Amino acid sequence: MDVQLSGMDGFETAELIRGYKIFEALPILFITVEHGSDEFARRGFEAGTFDYITKPVDGSVLKSKANSFLALERQERRRAQADAELTFLVTTDPLTNALNRGHFMTLAQAEFERSRRYGNILSVILLDLDHFKHVNDNYGHATGDRVLRALVGICRSTLRTIDMVARYGGEEFVILLPETEMAGARFTAERLRQRIEAATMSTENGDLAITASFGVACLDQAQLMSVEKLLDHVDQALYRIKSAGRNRVVVCEDQAISATVCG
């Protein structure tokens, strides 16, 4: 870009370009007859330029500087990709690609505190695959892994984009539902239960059907002081009801437990 433009000069034009987020990192090379002054350098840096060349333009110098910009861009993309891969490894369960437990607890605690501060409703679902040991023992661990990944796929296709699903441990998964009251959480859990029950997976030993049991609790009703306590409340309820039957949705209401048995 030439510094001396009609209307707006190059500095003003560069600042205008920088005002668009998509162009924040766009390299700008000024062409000028002026160089070396502190005022020129100051205005250039404030406008977000990367470099300048003087007139008359030497084609080999222009090409060299352009190649330098491209090399910096490739380096920045590699760094961004490496950062993204590291973030994925730190926050994601490697088998299922759901959130891992540690990262989920960090996000859930922040959502929990926000809900308490502003009086919003927050619900949580804890689901446990039924008889998963039977799947591993009779169909093999590779099939068990496929079941876990398929389960996460069903959850993601059923849940909203703001909902969070994480592998809580083994065959247990936890789902956080922001801005969701008990009735909505119960409905979501029942819909998930039905979709999981209806799904089948082809194996060498025939089609495999799976079911899951669900515990549901709402911050608005439980009024507990931490995410850990809320999840512990749901986990205990789920454990108790599974001894009496599976493939159910268990609703935790004010420390009491009621169950919606599958039809």
User: Alpha-carbon distance 49 to 64, whole Å?
Assistant: 17
In sequence order, which residues have a C-beta less than 8 Å from that of residue 31 and are 6 or more positions away?
Answer: 1, 2, 3, 52, 53, 54, 55, 57
- Interatomic CA distance for residues 43 and 45, integer angstroms: 6
Selected catalytic residue, list 34, 171, 190, 204: 171
Start-end of H helices in the chain? 10-18, 38-46, 59-91, 101-118, 132-139, 141-158, 182-198, 219-222, 227-242
Is the preceding omega at residue 56 within 30 degrees of 0, hence cis?
yes
Q: Quick one: which H or E segment has residue 4?
A: none
> Which residues have a Cβ under 8 Å from the Cβ of 248 and sit 6 or more positions away?
193, 213, 214, 241, 259, 260, 261, 262
- In this structure, the strands spanning 51-54 and 29-32 are parallel
The answer to whether 194 and 210 are in contact (CB under 8 A) is: no
Q: Are 156 and 165 in contact (CB under 8 A)?
A: yes
Distance between CA atoms of 255 and 42, rounded to whole angstroms?
A: 65
User: CA-to-CA distance for 194 and 188, rounded, in angstroms?
Assistant: 10
Assess whether 190 carries a catalytic annotation.
no
SS3 129: strand
Q: Which residues are catalytic?
A: 171
